[in-house]
Structure 1
Amino acid sequence: MLRSYLRSLVSGPVAVQLRRYTVVGTTTAGVQMLLLWLFVDVTALNYLVGATVAIEITIVMTYVLNNAWTFASIQNTGRRNYLVGLLKTNLVRGTAIPIQLGVLYALVDWQGIQYLIANAVAILLSGVYRYVLDVKWTWGRT
């Protein structure tokens, strides 16, 4: 059973979905990093406030891209389903915000790590959590 599951991560529909999710996540993580840099270094916003705003902006962007490409075969269509999916992903990713901000704060304030590097680590650590909940709840598939 474990062997077949691991094989499905390398080839098959789950592998394709996971690769697409990773591409979307990497792209939106880059956007989030750029936004965070703009908010902190250009507008002098506190890094935690800037991260919160950048996260919310990329939550919407991530949903749009994942719904259109990653989960194209099971995408949320129609106005109501699309908005319900957006609400669900906001709840999923919203619950990951404290995880991401907590890691960011701990790495910056307790460990002295530069905020952009700390944010990249926080994105990675909260990424698995977001993927599992998005797959199971936002798009209702395993």
Structure 2
Amino acid sequence: MIRAVLRNLTSGPIAVQMRRFVVVGAITAGIQMGLLWLFVDLAELNYLIGATVAIEITIVLSYVFNNAWTFEASQNTGTIEYLGGLLKTNLVRGTAIPIQLGVLYALVEWASVMYLAANAVAIFLSGLYRFVLDSQWTWG
């Protein structure tokens, strides 16, 4: 399944969706990085707590943007369907939170990488995982 997704990045039925998913992901990653900085440097929260809160906020934003644009052909409409999709994406992306926090922790604590740079790597590594599950289940 992952090989097929990678092969279809430039052409194929999911190429447009993948590119849109990446754009939405880049925007929400920027928002997540800004929120993380605010939570850690200004509110003085632990970086893992700040990351968890920032991730959840951007999960909701990602769903709104992806439902409206990335997956517009199969978008969730109507209150029940929309909220059901939001629940599904929270479950999908919620399973990615331990991956992202684990990579973040490992890079900060074991490799002495600055928390913002480590978070960027963690976002990238969990991105493909989130796309595959969201495209197949949330909007599948």
Same fold (TM over 0.5): yes
Q: For 1:125 and 1:105, how far apart are their aligned partners in 2?
A: 14
Whether 2:85 is the aligned partner of 1:72: answer: no
Please list the CA deviations of residues 55-97 of structure 1 after superposition, one character each: whole Å capped at 9, or x if unmatched.
0000000000000000001100000000000000000000000
Q: Secondary structure at the match of 1:10?
A: coil
Aligned to 1:133: 133
Larger Rg: 1
Q: Runs of at least 4 residues of structure 1 off by over 6 A?
A: none
Aligned to 1:96: 96
TM-score, scaled relative to structure 1: 0.93
Aligned to 1:81: 81
TM-score, scaled relative to structure 2: 0.94
Matched length: 137
Aligned to 1:46: 46
Please list the CA deviations of residues 25-62 of structure 1 after superposition, one character each: whole Å capped at 9, or x if unmatched.
00000000000000000110000000000000000000
Deviation of 1:10 (Å):
1.4
Whether 2:122 is the aligned partner of 1:115: answer: no
Q: For 2:9 and 2:28, how far apart are their aligned partners in 1?
A: 22
For structure 2, the residue ranges without an aligned partner over 5 or more in a row are none
Aligned to 1:25: 25
Q: For 1:66 and 1:47, how far apart are their aligned partners in 2?
A: 27
Deviation of 1:12 (Å):
4.3
For structure 1, the residue ranges without an aligned partner over 5 or more in a row are none
